[in-house]
Structure 1
Amino acid sequence: MNFLNDITIYLETLTRVINNLDKNEINRTMQAILKKYNEQATIYIFGNGGSAATASHFVCDFNKGACMDAKNKFRFICLNDNTPIITAIANDISYDDIFSYQLQGVLSKNDMVIAISGSGNSKNIIKAVKYAKEIGCEVVGITGYDGGLLKKYADYSLHVDINDMQKVEDVHMAFDHMMMQIFSKYLLEQEAK
């Protein structure tokens, strides 16, 4: 079996999606994240399934990679990394509450929430985002498809405009790695001044 044609189609489609990203919105989002870094605010990040893996990856790349040699560190916390608390909340309350419950009583209006949802409509994501908005907290929405409700609620929108979950998730990881490299370079330059 020769997969060359399918490989070419996948990569060409992904390239078109990347070329159509809103670079101004990415820049605006990065400025907001940098502001939270400078304020030493906490940034809570979360997602389901593949987006949960992406959220965990963000924490590693920001808390270690982006500021490895910097005096100050990012303060990312991933709400989907603790399996016992997630299953306890899902079992005793509701799966829809697994993120919003963890934010209650700890989220401050000076913090930031980064919610990742390919569809933008996951109930537990939207419930947590609504809670964050009630607190007065800024929200970054990382979405695909049409962006769903998350894109509407988000103050900053990293949107991947394609109806294909795998390509959406590919670009979500590219957001992480791109921002990590840019922030790492920027923070080192700032430290040298």
Structure 2
Amino acid sequence: MVLEELNYHKQIIEKVIAALVPQIEQGCKILTDTLISGSKVLLAGNGGSAADAQHIAAELTGRFVKERKALPAIALTVDTSALTAISNDYGYDRVFERQIEALARPDDLFIAISTSGNSTNILNALRSARAVGCKTLGLSGRDGGAMNDLCDLNIVIPDTNTASIQEMHILIGHIFCKSVDQLY
């Protein structure tokens, strides 16, 4: 079973390398340009994608590998008071949208993470981010879902297994963070 699982992941990585290197490089540039300009990064996702959003935000505000200055990144998944109040008052479908309205400014970057590409609260947040003038970068899977139409760049992992898609998302997140480290 272990060898079978590792070989499955090896196949996904080979697909990602074959299909997505230019998009990942473009995502690195969008992120680094945002931070160089002094703008901030906002991230959101649900479940494991929320954990990925928090992980990437922590690598930016703390550090990835290289010692450098703290950079502005906010995971919209961590404020339990905001999450519960917004969900209670407006519904969970608007939980990230309302935070984008409150926190996002033109030229900020919103990184939306959804393995299906169809999470309603993520789609609403993307619409809100675009209305504010944010750049939008997606990490999704399967066929990219509705995020394809709402992201400036949607990096779609060509697989249907949620766990494998999430594993590729955090790998790409680490590549993003390494590109940031190279600025300093």
Q: Distance in 1 between matches of 2:13 and 2:171?
A: 12
1:112-142 per-residue CA deviation (whole Å, 9 max, x = no partner) reads: 1110011011000000101111122110011
Please give the root-mean-square deviation of Cα atoms over the aligned residues, in Å.
1.8
**Structure 2 contact 43–112 (Cα < 8 Å) conserved:** yes
Bigger Cα displacement from structure 2, 7-16 vs 77-86: 7-16
Where does structure 1 lack aligned partners over 5 or more consecutive residues? 189-193
What secondary structure does 1:20 align onto? helix
What letter is aligned with 1:37? Answer: L
TM-score by length of 2: 0.91
1:7 is matched with 5
1:40-63 per-residue CA deviation (whole Å, 9 max, x = no partner) reads: 111110000110000000011122
- Offset of 1:92 from its aligned partner? 1.9
1:144 is matched with 141
Bigger Cα displacement from structure 2, 102-111 vs 8-17: 8-17
What letter is aligned with 2:138? Answer: G
> Pairwise mapping of residues 45-56 of structure 1 onto structure 2 (< 5 A)?
45-56=43-54
2:173 is aligned with 1:176 = yes
Q: Distance in 1 between matches of 2:135 and 2:88?
A: 29
The percentage of aligned residue pairs carrying the same residue is: 26
What letter is aligned with 2:13? Answer: T
Q: Distance in 2 between matches of 1:8 and 1:61?
A: 26
Where does structure 2 lack aligned partners over 5 or more consecutive residues? none
What secondary structure does 2:183 align onto? helix
- Offset of 1:79 from its aligned partner? 0.3
C-alpha distance 41-168 of structure 1, shift in aligned 2 (>3 A): same
**Structure 1 contact 140–155 (Cα < 8 Å) conserved:** yes
2:127 is aligned with 1:104 = no
> Pairwise mapping of residues 110-189 of structure 1 onto structure 2 (< 5 A)?
110-184=107-181, 186-188=182-184
2:85 is aligned with 1:93 = no
TM-score by length of 1: 0.87
Bigger Cα displacement from structure 2, 175-184 vs 116-125: 175-184
What letter is aligned with 1:187? Answer: L
* Equivalent residue pairs, number: 184
- Offset of 1:111 from its aligned partner? 1.1
**Structure 2 contact 63–70 (Cα < 8 Å) conserved:** no
1:58 is matched with 56
Q: Distance in 2 between matches of 1:127 and 1:174?
A: 26
What secondary structure does 2:104 align onto? coil
**Structure 1 contact 41–75 (Cα < 8 Å) conserved:** yes
1:11-50 per-residue CA deviation (whole Å, 9 max, x = no partner) reads: 3333333323421111111111111111111111000011
Q: Distance in 1 between matches of 2:147 and 2:14?
A: 23
CA radius of gyration, larger in: 1
